[in-house]
């Protein structure tokens, strides 16, 4: 079996998205704030005073769309490294309502979700198989400066009928994946067999008179 672990890459380990934030007036209506294109946020952490913030909705949407979980927040001339702890959305419309940030130092040990991105076209897919990718992110523990922004998995060598599990991954020794080693990350499944319709058994129609004649002859 190919060494799939060698295809496991880490990217953007030290790159973080810059978010310009401003302190929010607690008395201001959140509804009016959102109408003006800003999202109410909060930040907390052992090295920062908890505060209510407001950040551009456009920037936050971009951040969440790209799967960024680690960001730099610029506030009052200071920069804080932080992770997105929670993004609240309206259930019906999925509109962004509020975002919570957890601030930390780059050498602090933290645990956070890191997006898993699939790259390349698997050999098995070229042969007609279907790629199954049930896991979208992994829980990673380590120093903040060592945790990557995303994990990229190149599956070009993945063959038909093969799968890749957490235990197959070779990662930076400074970080740890918290999920079970048996969890399947990617599988290249065989194509579904076409269902062959079973032909209905032929029915032989016999006239009632013929049956009566046969019974009389007997």
Q: What is the pLDDT of residues 24-80, one digit of tens each?
A: 987 889 999 999 999 999 999 877 889 999 999 998 988 888 766 788 899 888 888
- Phi, psi of 91, rounded to the nearest 5 degrees: -55, -45
Question: How high is the pLDDT of residue 177?
Answer: 92
Q: Assess if residue 23 is contained within a domain.
A: yes
Predicted confidence (pLDDT) at residue 190 exceeds the cutoff of 60: yes
Kindly state the tokens that stand for 110.
């933290």
Give the domain CATH number at 38. Answer: 2.40.240.10
Distance CA 181, CA 174 (A): 17
Q: What is the pLDDT of residues 95-115, one digit of tens each?
A: 999 999 999 988 999 988 888
Residues 182 and 115 in one domain: yes
Average pLDDT, the chain: 81
Domain harbouring 167, CATH code: 2.170.120.20
**Residues 100, 130 share a domain:** no
Is the pLDDT at 8 greater than 50? The verdict is no
Domain shared by 93 and 115, yes or no: no
Same domain, 94 and 118: no
pLDDT computed for residue 145 by the predictor:
85
Quote the strand ranges of the chain, DSSP E: 8-11, 17-23, 38-45, 48-56, 70-75, 78-89, 96-104, 109-119, 130-132, 137-143, 150-154, 163-165, 175-177, 184-189
Same domain, 27 and 81: yes
- Residues 62, 85, single domain; the answer is yes
Question: Which domain-ending residue is among 106, 137, 163?
Answer: 106
Q: What percent of the chain has pLDDT over 70?
A: 80
Q: Do 85 and 143 have their domain in common?
A: no
184 falls within a domain: yes
Residues 134 and 95 reside in one and the same domain: no
Same domain, 174 and 149: yes
CB atoms within 10 A of CB 88: 13
Asked if the model's pLDDT at residue 192 lies above 80, the reply is no
pLDDT value of residue 39: 95
What is the spatial distance between Cα 155 and Cα 132, in angstroms, rounded to a whole number?
A: 11
Closest CA to 14 of 167, 191, 145: 145
| Residue 34 CB neighbours (<10 A) | 17
Residue 217, pLDDT score: 52
Residue 159 belongs to domain spanning: 4-11+111-189
CB 155 within 8 A of CB 119: yes
Q: Is residue 204 situated within a structural domain?
A: no
Q: Give 109's strand partners.
A: 143
Does one domain contain both 69 and 38?
yes
Please tell me whether residues 118 and 71 are part of one structural domain: no
- Domain assignment of residue 215, yes or no: no
Q: Is 45 exposed, middle or buried (0-12, 13-18, 19+ CB in 10 A)?
A: middle
Backbone angles phi, psi at 185, to 5 degrees: -90, -45
97 and 134 both lie in a single domain: no
Domain end, chosen from 78, 106, 134, is at 106
Instruction: Check residue 10 and give its pLDDT.
Output: 44
Residue 28: CA count within 13 A, CB half-sphere: 16
Tell which wins on pLDDT, 8 or 146. Answer: 146
- Structurally, how many domains does the chain consist of? 2
The pLDDT, as a whole number, for residue 140 is 92
Which of 73, 106, 139 is at the close of a domain?
A: 106
206 domain residue, yes or no: no
């Amino acid at each position: 079996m190919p060494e799939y672990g060698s295809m496991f890459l880490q990217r953007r380990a030290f790159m973080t998205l810059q978010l310009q934030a401003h302190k929010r007036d607690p008395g201001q209506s959140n509804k009016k704030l959102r109408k003006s294109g800003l999202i109410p946020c909060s930040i907390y952490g052992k090295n920062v005073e908890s505060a209510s913030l407001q950040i551009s909705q456009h920037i936050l949407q971009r951040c969440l769309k790209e799967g960024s979980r680690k960001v730099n927040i610029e506030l009052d001339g200071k920069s804080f490294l932080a992770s997105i702890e929670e993004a609240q959305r309206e259930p019906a419309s999925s509109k962004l309502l509020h975002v919570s940030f957890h601030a930390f130092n780059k050498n602090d040990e933290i645990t956070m979700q890191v997006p898993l991105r699939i790259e390349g076209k698997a050999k098995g897919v070229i042969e007609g198989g279907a790629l199954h990718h049930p896991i979208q992110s992994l829980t990673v523990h380590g120093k903040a400066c060592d945790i990557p922004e995303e994990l990229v998995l190149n599956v070009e060598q993945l063959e038909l009928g093969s799968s890749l599990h957490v235990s197959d991954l070779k990662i930076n020794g400074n970080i740890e994946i918290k999920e079970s080693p048996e969890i399947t990350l990617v599988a290249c499944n065989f194509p579904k067999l076409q269902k062959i319709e079973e032909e209905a058994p032929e029915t032989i129609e016999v006239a009632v008179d013929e049956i009566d004649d046969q019974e009389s002859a007997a």
